[in-house]
Amino acid sequence: MAPQANGTTNGNGADENNGSTVPEVNPPVDISIALHPNDSNAVPEILKGISSFGDAPSIDKDQTRLALLAKARDLVRALETPRETMIKHCWAQPGCYTAITSCYNLGVFSVLASDGGKPRKVTEIASILQTNSEVLTRLMKHIAAMGYIKETGNDEYAPTSFSKALTIPIIGDGYPCLAGGAHESCSKFPEYMAKANYATPTDVQAGPYQYAFNTKMNMFEYMQAHQPLGKQFNHHMGGYRQGRPSWMDSDFYPVEDRLIKDMENSSDAALLVDVGGSLGHDLQEFGRKYAQAPGRLILQDLPVVIDAIQQLDPKIERMNHDFHTEQPVKGARAYYMHSVLHDWPDNVCKSILKQLAAAMKPGYSKLLINENIIPDTGADWQATALDMMMITLFSSKERTRLNWCELLESPELGLKIVGIWSVQNGVESLIECELK
C-alpha cells in the first residue's frame, strides 16, 4: 500500500491538508516512539506476576485462568510496539474476521473438524467444498498466522479447539450475523458522530445504525427482514450466554429464599416470565436447576422469534408478546429481562418498564434485571466492548450503578431497587426491583 500523493506531511507523517481540527502536539511526538515496546518498564513486573502462578497453575479454576489471562494480555500489550499494535488493529484483526467469516460460510471449519480433525491440504478442502483453492489458501494462511488453526505443512492445516467450536451454530453464527447486520454501523460510526457534532446518540429511528444501513429499521427488525441474519443472531445470543456465572446458582442469587419460598399456590400462578427471552435458554436453565419449583414458566418474545424455536422443554409456555405493549401476564412472582434494556435508550426503557410495573402485584411481584453494571474503575473488557456495540447499533449503552438507579427508580415508574447481586469474575449482575 503506497501512500497517496495528495497532500504534504510534516516530520511526523501527519497530513497537513486534511482539514482536521485536532490540535497539534507541541513538542511533536517523534516517530521513534512507535518503534519501541509500548511499556518496556512494565515487563519485569508482569513477568514476576506470571511466575507467581507457578509452573503448573490450576487453570481449570476460572478465577486463576482469568487472572493469568489478564497478565498474558498485559505482557503482549507491553511488548508490542505502537506500530505493531496499529497494524494489528487496522489490518490483522479485520482481515482475520473477514477470513474466518468467509471460511465459515464455505463450511471450511466443518471439513477441518471431520474425520478426527486430521490435517488436510487446502486443495483437498477446496475439492470437497467445490470452491476456489487459490483464495482459500490465502484466507487459511492468515487464520493460521493469527493462531486460530494449526499449520501442519505447506498449505496444510488442522483444527484447533476454537475452529472446532465454530461448527456449533451458537458460536459460529455470530461471524456472518455481525458481518452482515452490524459491523457496517461500527465502521461508519466516526463519520456519523462527526456529522452529529459528537452529540450522544439517543434516537432509535435515526441513529448510527440507520445511518450506516440506510434504513428506518432497528437492528432487530433489519436482521429479521434479512434472513438468515435474524436466525444467526438468535444463535449468537445463545453463544454469548455460555460459560458465564449464572444468577440461578446458589452462590449468586438466593432463588429459593427470594422467589420460590412465598410463591402462590394457585394452579395458574406464574413463577417466572422471561420477557424478550429469545429462544428460551434462560428458562431452560431455570427449569433444569429448579425442576421441583411450583408455578408457570412463560417465555415471551416476538412471533418471528417464538416460531423459530426448535426445541423447548414442554413445561415452558410460549407466548407471542411485544414488550412495548401491555404485559398480558398479571401478578407473576417475577418478571425477568436478560440483556434487553441495554438495547434501548432511557426514554424507551421507561416505556417498557411501565408495562411491567403495571402488571406487578404490590408486595409480591419482583422485576429481575440481568445486565452489566459498569464499575467506575477497572471495567471488564467484555462489558466495555458491549458498550461500543450498544452505542453504534442501538443508540443505547451499558449502564453504571448510578445509571441503573436513575433509570429504575425514576418517579414515574414506581419501582425501587431492593438488591443487586453479583459474583467475582461475573460480568453481569442481577438487579431485583419491587413496587414502592
Residues with active-site annotation: 342
* Closest of 328, 312, 320, 334 to residue 248, by C-alpha: 334
Phi-psi region of 14 (alpha: psi -120 to 50; beta: other; left: phi over 0): beta
CA 407/CA 352 separation, integer angstroms? 12
32: DSSP letter: G
The three cell numbers locating residue 282: 434462560
Q: Any residues with CB less than 8 A from the CB of 183 and at least 6 apart, and which?
A: 97
CA distances from 89 to 63, 86, 92, 191 (A): 28, 5, 6, 18
- 343: exposed, middle or buried (C-beta count within 10 Å: 0-12, 13-18, 19+)? buried
Distance in angstroms between the alpha carbons of the first and the last residue of the chain? 63
Q: Is the dihedral of CA 30, 35, 39, 40 positive or negative?
A: negative
Count how many Cα atoms sit within 13 Å of the Cα of residue 176 in the half-sphere of its side chain.
21
CA distances from 81 to 36, 40, 311 (A): 5, 10, 49
